[in-house]
Amino acid sequence: MGQIKKQGAATGWVDFGGLYTYHTILWSQSSGVTDLGTLTGGSNDPSQGYGISDNGQVVGWSTKNGSGSYAFVYSKATGMQDLNTLENGNWSVGIAYGINSAGQIIAWGATSGSTTLHALLLTPEYRSLRCMRSSYRP
C-alpha cells in the first residue's frame, strides 16, 4: 500500500530482508528508489509511507527505538520529522495517511492520557501544525 502521483512519483515501503527492516521509500522517474529511513535512523525501527503530495512531501508512520507509532512528514528540505514535535496541541499523532499540496495532513491520534482515537486534519500554521478533530462542530 502507498500512493502514486500522476507526476511520476510514488511512496510506500520496501522490506530490506529482515525482521522489522521495512522502510519508507520515495520513487520518482528521475531518481529511482530512495530509502527515506526512519525517525531515529535505527535499524530495528520500521517505517511506512502512505501519502505523497504533488510537491513531493511524504507522510506515514515510524517507530522510535523499537516501540510506538509516530506519524511523520518528510520533505527533501527537512528530512523525516515527527508530527508530534510539530503539532502544537495536546495530541499524540500515530499515523498520517495523506497530504495535499497545501500541506494539510489527514491522520489519526488521541489526546494525551486517552486511548480514544480520532480522525485528524493537521493544517500548517507558520512553524507548527494546528490540529482539528473530525468531530469538530462550529
Beta-carbon contacts of 20 under 8 Å, excluding residues fewer than 6 positions away, are 44, 45, 46, 63, 66
**Which 8-state DSSP code applies to residue 85?**
H
CA 50 to chain centre: 7
- Domain membership of residue 18 as a residue range: 3-133
Per the model's pLDDT, the better-predicted residue between 136 and 95 turns out to be: 95
- 36 found inside a domain: yes
Beta-carbon contacts of 68 under 8 Å, excluding residues fewer than 6 positions away, are none
- 138 found inside a domain: no
Burial-class residue 136 by CB neighbours within 10 Å (0-12, 13-18, 19+).
exposed
pTM of the predicted protein model: 0.84
- When divided into structural domains, the chain yields a total of 1
Average pLDDT of span 21-46: 87
Q: State pLDDT tens for residues 48-90.
A: 999 999 889 999 999 998 888 999 999 999 999 999 887 667 7
